Amino acid sequence: SPPQPSPPLLLPLLPPAARGGSTWEGEAKATLRLFGTRRMAVLFPLFWYTGFNQPYQLNTFGDRFFDSRALGLELASFYLAEVLGAALAGWTLDTASTPRAGALRQLAAFGLATSAAYALALSVEVPAARAHWPTCSTPRLQLGEEGVAVPSLAFFLWGLSDSQVQAYAYWLLRQLHSGGGGSRALRGCDH
């Protein structure tokens, strides 16, 4: 068969209807319809948590317990743990005998990491609040200073758990909506 002509260079500049695709309005409506389903309502706490946790972890806790140099290292540790946690989540979900087994193992790993991190944070937050009430303005820890290990471990575990729950959320979207349900955003989870 003869070679097919390549699409014109101006094709991306044409309106979606002229390209043979759907409009952005149709894409937006298909995506928003997902939020009206019972399944998404049940999953809302998971998706809410993935965006809620970091302001406390990185800003409130980090600014309260670390000086600027230590906080810089803690943020590097947090994001290194994010990479490790995402790899762990992918491995856990991909090597399981069934999707359900992978989901349960991943949720257990996330629950363990995030619970340990919050327990460690509580173990330093409560004494700091009692000692410095009502302002709770504790002296900020420097690198190598006594007492920096516990908040540092909490930071690392938060990074580990944050990427685990995000990877799980994307995996779950893919499991629940493998066809995309008319939404290009979800069809992107297929690849």
Q: What is the pLDDT of residue 10?
A: 45
Q: Which of 91, 89, 102 is nearest to 165 (CA)?
A: 89
Per-residue model confidence (pLDDT) at position 47: 76
User: How far apart (Å, rounded) are the C-alpha atoms in residues 88 and 112?
Assistant: 13
Contact 175, 99 (CB under 8 A): yes
Give me the helix-helix angle, 68-95 and 149-176, nearest 10°.
40
Would you give per-residue pLDDT tens digits along the chain (191 residues)? 566 555 444 444 445 554 445 677 877 787 778 778 887 777 788 877 777 777 888 888 888 889 999 999 999 999 999 999 999 999 999 899 999 999 999 999 999 999 999 999 999 988 888 887 777 677 787 888 888 999 999 999 999 999 998 888 888 878 876 654 444 444 444 44
pLDDT of 40 reads 77
Indicate the Cα dihedral angle 147, 80, 71, 124, nearest 10°: -30
Inter-axis angle of helices 99-131 and 68-95, to 10 degrees?
160
Angle between helices 149-176 and 99-131 (to 10 degrees): 150
Cα separations in angstroms, 117 against 47, 69, 189, 191: 19, 21, 29, 32
Does the model's pTM come out above 0.75?
no
166: exposed, middle or buried (Cβ count in 10 Å: 0-12, 13-18, 19+) = buried
**Cβ neighbours of residue 185 under 8 Å, at least 6 residues apart?**
27, 31
